[in-house]
Amino acid sequence: MIGDGEEAVGEINAVLAAHRDSPREHVLRELAHLPGVYIPSLYDVEYNGAALVSVRPRYADVPERVEKRTVADLAEWPYPSISSSRWWRSSTTGSTSRCSAAAPAGAGSARRG
């Protein structure tokens, strides 16, 4: 992701869900069509020593230039709650267990004295 990823997350998830059973290369090429998404393996990069000479897409359908994506006002962006984190985990993994990424540090871990 080049730039802010807040808006892109939903679009990336939609592509992944729609192409769940597709070959990896196909999914990567679909993701490359989203604004701000850079897939390094889809580009040929040429250097002259440490200097970058060129970056060219390997396929005609891959954008030549990846534009930086920005969110105009992050204060207006709706951040997910813990309940939406639980929904996301259950909808993507089938598990209804709590997502450890949303838990406070140390939650659920036993301490031995």
In a domain, 72, yes or no: yes
In a domain, 110, yes or no: no
Supply the pTM of this predicted model. Answer: 0.62
Q: What residues contact residue 50 under an 8 Å CB cut-off, 6+ apart? A: none
Residue type, 96: T
Structure confidence by residue, pLDDT tens digits, 4-35: 888 888 899 999 999 999 999 999 999 999 99
In a domain, 64, yes or no: yes
In a domain, 104, yes or no: no
Structure confidence by residue, pLDDT tens digits, 51-89: 999 999 999 999 999 999 887 776 766 666 655 555 555
Q: Could you give the number of structural domains in the chain? A: 1
Structure confidence by residue, pLDDT tens digits, 84-107: 555 555 555 555 555 555 445 554
Map tokens 């997910």 to a residue.
80
In a domain, 2, yes or no: no
CA-to-CA distance for 3 and 70, rounded, in angstroms? 6
In a domain, 82, yes or no: yes
In a domain, 3, yes or no: no
* Structural domain for 41, as ranges: 8-97
In a domain, 107, yes or no: no
CA-to-CA distance for 9 and 79, rounded, in angstroms? 12
CA-to-CA distance for 56 and 42, rounded, in angstroms? 9
